[in-house]
Amino acid sequence: MDADINFYFDPVCPFAWMTSKWVRQVQAQRDYTVDWRFISLRLINAHVDYDAHFPPEYEAGHTAGLRLLRVAARARAEHGRAAMAPLYAAFGTHIFDTAPRSDNQRSEVEVRELRGTREFAEPILAEAGLPLELADALDDESWDMEIQQETDEALSLTGKDVGTPIIHFEPPTGVAFFGPVISRLPDEDSAAELWDHVVALARFPGFAELKRSLREQPQLAAFGVDAGTVGTKEDWHGGSRRQKK
């Protein structure tokens, strides 16, 4: 598929979701085409001892992300690339734009594990207009090779010390970059202007990195942060909440 933007996402990454919503704003204003592609945090960290390096809920979350990407890979194979935009939108809406139920007694680990189940996936498939039997792919590791190939493709564009999302603008020869990581969604009037600034910087041949590890919690209902509220700042390491490098 020839697209203006290749957007590599893991469905359980909140910052990828925030950036994707901004990219959709720009897409609507500029009439860009977007190819929604895969990058798996679980596969990127396959060599990592989760217990030693991450908060306790991370392995469950990243594993659920891989399981959902298997469903997405099968959906793309059987229903075409056009199925990815509504499917990713449904993933993100249910994971991040839905506030936790006040009567929810599950631990954070259990909440993240649930995202990799049929109970979670089937209503999302229905919402995206896709057959429920695609959820059979949750346990089908045969899709992992395709997901790994796309993950490797994304990292080949930016280098390996990054997170999600990765954006490739005007592929195959255009610029690629990790992020931008944003915690607030720009308004409609400034969305395209912000995009132009990012692309202009990325296009400078000598540009490599502009970074700060302090991040606000994103303005997402799942975090209890409203659009008009500033989220709590956290110090991230290497693009993640890893406790050690």
Which residues fall within 8 angstroms of residue 17, CB to CB, at 6 or more apart? 9, 11, 92, 95, 96, 218, 220
**Segment 185-209, tens digit of pLDDT:** 999 999 999 999 999 999 999 998 8
Q: Please work out, in degrees rounded to the nearest 5, the angle formed at the alpha carbon of residue 148 by the alpha carbons of 6 and 79.
A: 60
The distance of Cα 197 from the centroid of its chain, to the nearest Å, equals 22
The tens place of each residue's pLDDT in the chain, 245 residues long, gives 689 999 999 999 999 999 999 999 999 999 999 999 999 999 999 998 998 888 889 999 999 999 999 999 999 999 999 999 999 999 999 999 988 776 677 888 999 999 999 999 999 999 999 999 999 999 999 999 999 999 999 999 999 988 899 999 999 999 999 999 999 999 999 999 999 999 999 999 999 888 888 888 888 888 888 787 777 888 876 445 554 55
- CB environment 201-224: b (16+ within 10 A), e (fewer): ebeeeeeeeeeeeebbbbbbebbe
Q: Per DSSP, which regions of 144-242 are E strands?
A: 166-169, 176-178, 214-216, 233-235
Residue 170: Cβ-neighbour burial (10 angstroms; 0-12, 13-18, 19+): middle
* Ramachandran bin of 181, using left for φ above 0, alpha for ψ from -120 to 50, beta for the remaining angles: beta
Enter the tokens of residue 139: 């346990």
Q: What are phi and psi of 17, to 5 degrees?
A: -65, -45
* Ramachandran bin of 238, using left for φ above 0, alpha for ψ from -120 to 50, beta for the remaining angles: left
Instruction: Identify the DSSP state of 47.
Output: T
Could you give the CA distance from residue 180 to residue 197 in angstroms, rounded to a whole number? 11
* Strand partners of residue 176: 168
For the chain, the maximum distance between any two Cα atoms, rounded to a whole number of angstroms, is 52
**Segment 34-78, tens digit of pLDDT:** 999 999 999 999 998 998 888 889 999 999 999 999 999 999 999
Could you give the CA distance from residue 166 to residue 168 in angstroms, rounded to a whole number? 7
DSSP secondary structure string for all residues of 61-107: HHHHHHHHHHHHHHHHHHH-GGGHHHHHHHHHHHHTSSPPPTT----
